[in-house]
């Protein structure tokens, strides 16, 4: 039976786009390093179906996970999609034969990427496309107008419903907003990496979602004495505490932790419901200090 209650409730990214604040990041459905096929494709399909059964309505993905692999598995597992499910993808990079992440940001490359996402996800229009800029985890200075204009044109043509940004600065968000509305920003942020605190608050004031990638540290999982101490006191795990902290941080934060395990998926969802006391929060604040 599908659950109707999840930690944090829902967030309206747009009038026609309301998602559960606890979402799912599909990157780990591909092989190691988000490259190649999964070790267990049947389990990957089962994880996605469990996502739906848990009541999650927000899946974050990209055609360059694999490449193609993750989107193909999503379509295999879930198409035709539930009416309330929203898929958010991103463009701006590619994968080479060695698993590297070369940039693919010319207008033509972005148009090609959007149409490939549509094809592999079996969709006529994408709910949200994030323009991925910046480096591995930090924004890079410079204009993003040419790239965002290319996506805005595809939006006007009906291939994209809403636009977002990834790995960008506050100045780049403002520049994009002169071209088309921005419904979400996806940057590197977690309890130990808080460089975007001001941007989160600015976006919250505008009703714009902030979606932290690597909420649990990414390829280098979070570790700290404070996380361990709070988790021990609550009878939980450090990763669950880190997710609960994010939901508490601001009402516009959406979670997209990833996993290739149904057990871990359920742990993430239940862990996000932890109630953190003022004392817990003060202790966790020492991590980012």
* Average pLDDT, integer, range 92-100: 94
The torsion angles phi and psi of 162, rounded to 5 degrees, stand at -140, 155
**In-domain check, residue 19:** yes
Structural tokens at position 73: 């598995």
What pLDDT, on the 0 to 100 scale, is given for residue 216? 86
What pLDDT, on the 0 to 100 scale, is given for residue 1? 32
**Exposed / middle / buried, residue 262 (Cβ in 10 Å: 0-12, 13-18, 19+):** middle
What pLDDT, on the 0 to 100 scale, is given for residue 289? 63
Of 122, 104, 103, 125, nearest to 113 by C-alpha is 104
**How confident is the model over 177-213, as pLDDT tens digits?**
999 999 999 999 999 999 999 999 999 999 999 999 9
Q: From the candidates 24, 64, 65, 210, give the one annotated as an active-site residue.
A: 65
Number of domains observed in the structure of the chain? 1
189 noted as active-site residue? no
**How confident is the model over 31-76, as pLDDT tens digits?**
999 999 999 999 999 999 999 999 999 999 999 999 999 999 999 9
* Average pLDDT, integer, range 210-217: 92
- Looking up residue 52, the CATH number of its domain turns out to be 3.20.20.100
**How confident is the model over 220-237, as pLDDT tens digits?**
788 899 999 999 999 999
What pLDDT, on the 0 to 100 scale, is given for residue 223? 86
* Average pLDDT, integer, range 129-135: 96
**In-domain check, residue 255:** yes
35 lies in which domain range?
10-223+250-264
pLDDT of residue 152 exceeding 80? yes
**In-domain check, residue 43:** yes
Structural tokens at position 56: 């999650």
- Spatial distance between the Cα atoms of 35 and 65, rounded to a whole number of angstroms: 6
What pLDDT, on the 0 to 100 scale, is given for residue 218? 76
**In-domain check, residue 5:** no
Considering the chain, what is the average pLDDT of its residues? 95
**In-domain check, residue 271:** no
**In-domain check, residue 285:** no
What pLDDT, on the 0 to 100 scale, is given for residue 135? 87
- Spatial distance between the Cα atoms of 287 and 289, rounded to a whole number of angstroms: 6
**In-domain check, residue 117:** yes
The band of 252, judged by pLDDT with boundaries at 50, 70 and 90, is very high
**In-domain check, residue 275:** no
* Most confident option among 94-103, 173-182, 213-222: 173-182
Structural tokens at position 66: 């694999």
H helices of the chain, in order, are 41-53, 69-78, 107-121, 145-156, 170-177, 197-206, 225-234, 238-249, 262-271, 278-285
Structural tokens at position 195: 């460089």
């Amino acid at each position: 039976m599908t659950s109707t209650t999840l930690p944090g409730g829902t967030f309206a990214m747009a009038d026609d786009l309301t998602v559960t604040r606890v979402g799912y990041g599909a990157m780990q459905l591909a092989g190691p390093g988000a490259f190649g096929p999964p070790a267990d494709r049947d389990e990957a399909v089962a994880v996605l179906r469990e996502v739906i059964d848990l009541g999650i309505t927000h899946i974050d993905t990209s055609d360059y996970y694999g490449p193609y692999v993750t989107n193909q598995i999503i379509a295999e597992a879930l198409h035709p999609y539930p009416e309330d499910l929203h898929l958010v993808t991103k463009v701006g990079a590619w994968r080479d034969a060695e698993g590297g992440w070369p940039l693919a940001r010319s207008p033509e490359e972005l148009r090609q990427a959007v149409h490939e996402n549509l094809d592999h996800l079996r969709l006529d229009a994408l709910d949200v496309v994030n323009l991925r800029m910046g480096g591995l985890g930090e924004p890079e200075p410079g204009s993003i107008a040419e790239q965002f204009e290319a996506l805005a044109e595809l939006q006007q043509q009906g291939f994209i419903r809403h636009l977002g940004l990834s790995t960008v600065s506050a100045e780049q968000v403002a520049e994009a907003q002169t071209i088309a509305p921005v419904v979400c920003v996806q940057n590197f942020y977690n309890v130990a990496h808080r460089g975007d605190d001001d941007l989160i608050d600015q976006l919250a004031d505008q009703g714009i979602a902030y979606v932290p990638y690597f909420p649990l540290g990414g390829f280098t999982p979070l570790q700290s004495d404070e996380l361990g101490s709070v988790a021990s006191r609550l009878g939980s795990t450090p990763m669950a505490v880190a997710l609960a902290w994010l939901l508490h941080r601001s009402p516009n934060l959406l979670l997209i932790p990833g996993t290739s395990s149904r057990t871990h998926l359920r742990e993430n969802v239940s862990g996000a419901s932890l109630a953190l006391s003022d004392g817990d929060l003060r202790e966790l604040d020492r991590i980012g200090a």
